[in-house]
Amino acid sequence: MDRAVVSVSTAELSSWLRKPDLMKFPYAAVVREYHHVGKHFVPPELLRMLAEARTLLPSLHGPWPHVHTLASFLDTALDKPDQRYDYPTYLALSLLQLPGPDDPLEQALFARPRCDRLIAQLVADALAFELAARDGRTTLLPRMRPDAALVGKRYRHGLRVLRPVLGRMALDAGLTEVGPADQARQACAAVRGDMSFAERRAMKLSILPVDTIHDEYLFLRVLQAFETTFALLSTHLRGAIAALRQGEVDRAVYFLDGSRAALEESGPLFSMLATMQVEAFRTFRQFTEGASAIQSRNYKLVESLCSMPDPGRIDSQAYFSVPDVRMRVLAGQETLDEACAALLGSGVPEPDRVRLGAAMESFARTLARWRQTHYRLAVRMLGEASGTGYTQGTPYLAAVRDLPVFRTLQNGVPGTGMNSNGVSTNGNGNGLHADGEAVLEADTETRRAP
């Protein structure tokens, strides 16, 4: 450990503690130390000083966004010594300010552009790190650097995520280069030039790897992008439920189609993850014990908004790991299944039944394939190793990948062709190709977004 680096970070924090000022917290020095050694290895003295800074939060005066940022950063930075380290704190989700289930329903229409910005920033930041490492412009996370071929794949898959998003953001005009590295450089510049000060700071503070291994940067950013996608899905599903409650089939189909499209566009994120070096993943993973995707609040929100989970699942570790979502389910959270059944019982015209059934089928098929791809990638990276969130790892994923998405579809809604597991009977079971290429419904190697 470089003691000079430690002394600089503690000296700056010590100075701040003597005269605390919300607007002058030494974020850069603290983040630099976390990056230098990894969150799992931060010196006790620095942790003690950060804990002292946290006790001062109630007495600090200043704009609420700045108070929230410092509180969220300390919540993430101190999760391990507090012994409450988990998936949300590992991913620093409180700093990303994702859409949530308590947001006003009126905001559902604006969730897509909000999440587009965040996905673009997360993926562009991942590519910017790869570019900086290849150019020799950074010493961040120096261990187990990937070779040029792997990095080239990351550029290519990252651009597949970015192109449709940048198109909607009107930031794609400058993507004129042909080579993946040069085009990735252009995409990163376009995204960074569009970011506010608050967005840039959120990106800097939301990446606290547990170790100093290169591939953990990619791992964190991709998982954060998936969380953003599922936050968008849960918001859209809430919008679809409200629309069906009001008999507005067109609006419900709009939200379902948007959810399907967002999930399809997330497919290349799996391809990015598949470029991780297995040994690198297994090395830093030994320090992520306690954090697992089973604790993903956004994924469970999507699952439970689609249909009511079985009692056995509600009373399993899957939902005990997300207690707030479990309480919503037990309190009678309305599902799309229920809203659809109520609408169908009211004598909705046949064309509307068919359109709604087709939209539900398409979304369910895409989600089922997402689960399958997730499982296959986990098998590749983990083998039969246990999970880090007190789960059985891949056996757990194998058991839950065929859970029904919508039970309404099993009861014969016109326009569907689903089997009992919510999977299209005429689908082809896409997942991961042998070379790690992730494929969802409309996400193939030859597909190029406009």
What does the pLDDT look like over 62-95, one tens digit per residue?
999 999 999 999 999 999 999 999 999 999 999 9
Query: What confidence tier does 103 reach under pLDDT thresholds 50, 70, 90?
Result: very high
Please tell me which of 199-203, 343-347, 397-401 the model is most confident about, judged by mean pLDDT: 199-203
Q: Over pLDDT 70: what percentage of the chain?
A: 86
Indicate whether 65 and 211 sit together in one domain: no
Indicate whether 68 and 123 sit together in one domain: no
Quick one: pLDDT at residue 412?
52
Query: What confidence tier does 389 reach under pLDDT thresholds 50, 70, 90?
Result: very low
Buried b (16+ CB within 10 A) or exposed e, 218-238: bbbbbbbbbbbbbbbbbbbbb
pLDDT, tens only, 248-266:
999 999 999 999 999 999 9
| Residue 168's CATH number | 1.20.58.480
pLDDT, tens only, 297-329:
999 999 999 999 999 999 999 999 999 999 999
Closest alpha carbon to 192 in 143, 124, 131, 142? 124
Buried b (16+ CB within 10 A) or exposed e, 65-104: eeeebbbbbbbbbbbbeeeebebbbbbbbbbbbbbebebe
Q: How far is CA 143 from CA 25, 40, 326, 418, in A?
A: 29, 15, 40, 47
Closest alpha carbon to 266 in 155, 120, 436? 120
Please identify, among 20, 53, 84, the residue that sits at the C-terminal boundary of a domain: 84
Quick one: pLDDT at residue 402?
77
CA atoms of 387 and 245, how far apart (whole Å) = 39
Quick one: pLDDT at residue 31?
97
- Residue entry with tokens 């497919």: 267
CA atoms within 13 A on the CB side of 125: 24
Would you mind telling me the total number of residues written for the chain in this entry?
450
Indicate whether 150 and 295 sit together in one domain: yes
CA atoms of 322 and 312, how far apart (whole Å) = 15
Tell whether 365 is covered by a domain. yes
Quick one: pLDDT at residue 437?
58
Quick one: pLDDT at residue 440?
54
Closest alpha carbon to 190 in 171, 167, 163, 162? 171
pLDDT, tens only, 18-37:
999 999 999 999 999 999 99
Buried b (16+ CB within 10 A) or exposed e, 22-33: eeebbeebbbeb
Q: Over pLDDT 90: what percentage of the chain?
A: 79
Tell whether 98 is covered by a domain. no
Quick one: pLDDT at residue 341?
92
Tell whether 388 is covered by a domain. yes
Higher pLDDT, 392 or 336: 336
Tell whether 141 is covered by a domain. yes
pLDDT-wise least confident of 55-59, 120-124, 239-243, 376-380: 376-380
Indicate whether 319 and 241 sit together in one domain: yes
Q: What is the mean pLDDT of residues 188-194?
A: 98
The pTM assigned to this predicted structure is: 0.90
Q: What is the mean pLDDT of residues 41-68?
A: 96
Indicate whether 210 and 349 sit together in one domain: yes
Q: What is the DSSP string of 220-269?
A: HHHHHHHHHHHHHHHHHHHHHHHHHHTT-HHHHHHHHHHHHHHHHHTHHH
Query: What confidence tier does 116 reach under pLDDT thresholds 50, 70, 90?
Result: very high
Quote the number of domains for the chain. Answer: 2
CA atoms of 92 and 98, how far apart (whole Å) = 11
Indicate whether 249 and 389 sit together in one domain: yes
Closest alpha carbon to 267 in 152, 125, 123? 123
Q: What is the mean pLDDT of the chain?
A: 89
Indicate whether 75 and 170 sit together in one domain: no
Burial (CB count <10 Å: 0-12, 13-18, 19+), residue 149: exposed
Indicate whether 48 and 120 sit together in one domain: no
Domain of 211, in residue numbers? 106-411
Q: Is the pLDDT of residue 3 over 60?
A: no
Quick one: pLDDT at residue 9?
75
Q: What is the mean pLDDT of residues 365-394?
A: 76
Higher pLDDT, 45 or 427: 45
Higher pLDDT, 24 or 432: 24
Please tell me which of 218-227, 286-295, 371-380, 391-400 the model is most confident about, judged by mean pLDDT: 218-227
- Nearest 5°: the CA angle 409, 412, 413 is 70
Indicate whether 235 and 350 sit together in one domain: yes
pLDDT, tens only, 136-179:
999 999 999 999 999 999 999 999 999 999 999 999 999 999 99
